Structure 1
Amino acid sequence: MCAQWHYSKASLQAPPMDFSFRGISFMQDLLTEEPRPGLKPIKLSQEGRLLTQAVWLNNNTLSDLTDFTATMGKLLEYPEDISWIDLSFNDLSTIDPVLTTYYNLRNLNLHGNSIQQLSEVDKLAVLPHLRSLTLHGNPIEEEKGYRSYVLSTLPHLKSFDFSGVTKLDRSTANVWRRMNIKPKVVRRRLNDY
């Protein structure tokens, strides 16, 4: 346990595993491609896997995240500790549910993709530590109430689209939600009365 804590603590300050601008179309491509060298090298575990919590896959041609979990498991020593994923400027049309399995995710960049449905944001509500999210440059940005919808769905965000979330933003989002989102009706059976 102590060794894992040491590695996890060290990986907090580690540079990202950076596969940006690599022409990546499929997650398996990461296994044959070299990450971009950073100013500081990423430390490796005894098993030869990277000790980092940040994954940069921006500016590629990913249209889905098939095999994301398996690929991260092969490249990272502690994939469950991923706290930052940058998937900006790809070809993603949905928010893949695999992203919701990374419980420690704090920063998620999805700007510059092709996400069509504002309701895709609902999937991210299960991430308790998510504090920073970018979605601008997706078709959903044109939806009426875009910012209020996202902030009412994800009330723990501190930063959205590279802008700090203010008390006024939160208040506006709450009012917007009350006015625009109908509560789900709970039906009871006659036997319940």
Structure 2
Amino acid sequence: MEVEKEIKKCLQKCGIRRDVDVCQLSLAKKKLTSVPDLSRFHFLRELWLNNNKIRELSCRSLNCCLTELYLHNNSIKSISGALNHLTCLRLLFLHNNQIRGLDDTMHELRRMQQLQTATFFLNPISHQPGYRHHVIHCLPSLQVLDGKEVKSAERKKSFQMHSQERHRVLQSVAFCRRAT
């Protein structure tokens, strides 16, 4: 109920009277421990849930047309089963959490064809060997990862590292040789 009061206060502050008029919502620094039900905001595009105490994500109540999601500076341990329906996301900030399981995390984000900017630094996954190349390979639409532009040379290297068989076949076709 406390969360509902915060949402109502935020809307009043912005002069918004109807749920359909909400396209941005900031619930940053509200000491939230979970993601509130925001399904009533059908046109919500940008959501700030950063700097809270969120440990587990259950974002099924979030609008699937969300384009920006700020979840940094929380205590999130896993995003599995929480974000895969957010296929319109273009920006996702998840830095400074406790996210483990690089493969599980990338599997969750695999359907995000429009994701251009993402941050995962200051999470245990960002310390795994080959982390950056793995993320670039799994999320080919990324243009900026952890605040650093994704270069074409990095894309090529990640493709070579994670699709070795496809790379070998492409190389053989490019030089008119049969792949053995």
Report the alpha carbon displacement of residue 63 of structure 1 after superposing the two structures with TM: 0.8
What SS does the corresponding residue of 2:159 show, helix, strand or coil?
A: helix
Counterpart selection for 1:133 from 98, 118, 121: 118
Instruction: Compute the RMSD of aligned alpha carbons.
Output: 2.5
What SS does the corresponding residue of 1:26 show, helix, strand or coil?
A: coil
What SS does the corresponding residue of 1:133 show, helix, strand or coil?
A: strand
Counterpart of 1:159?
144
| RCO comparison, higher one (Cα < 8 Å, 6+) | 1
- Structure 1 residue runs without a partner (length 5+): 1-7, 32-47, 73-78, 180-193
Count of matched residue pairs: 144
Deviations 1:55-89 (A, max 9, x none): 010111111123x333x4xxxxxx23210111111
Counterpart of 1:75?
none
CA distance in 1, matches of 2:41, 2:146: 32
- Please say if residues 107 and 130 of structure 1, whose CA atoms lie closer than 8 Å, have aligned partners that are also in contact: yes
CA distance in 1, matches of 2:113, 2:82: 15
Deviations 1:5-55 (A, max 9, x none): xxx9x97xx5x3111111110223x78xxxxxxxxxxxxxxxx95854100
CA distance in 2, matches of 1:153, 1:20: 29
Counterpart selection for 1:69 from 54, 60, 66: 60
1:87 aligns with 2:66: no
- Please say if residues 64 and 96 of structure 1, whose CA atoms lie closer than 8 Å, have aligned partners that are also in contact: no
Q: State the TM-score, normalized to the length of structure 2.
A: 0.71
- Structure 2 residue runs without a partner (length 5+): 1-19, 165-180
Q: Percent identity?
A: 24
1:171 aligns with 2:156: yes
Counterpart of 1:44?
none
Q: Which runs of 4+ in 1 moved over 3 A?
A: 48-52
Counterpart selection for 1:112 from 70, 82, 96: 96
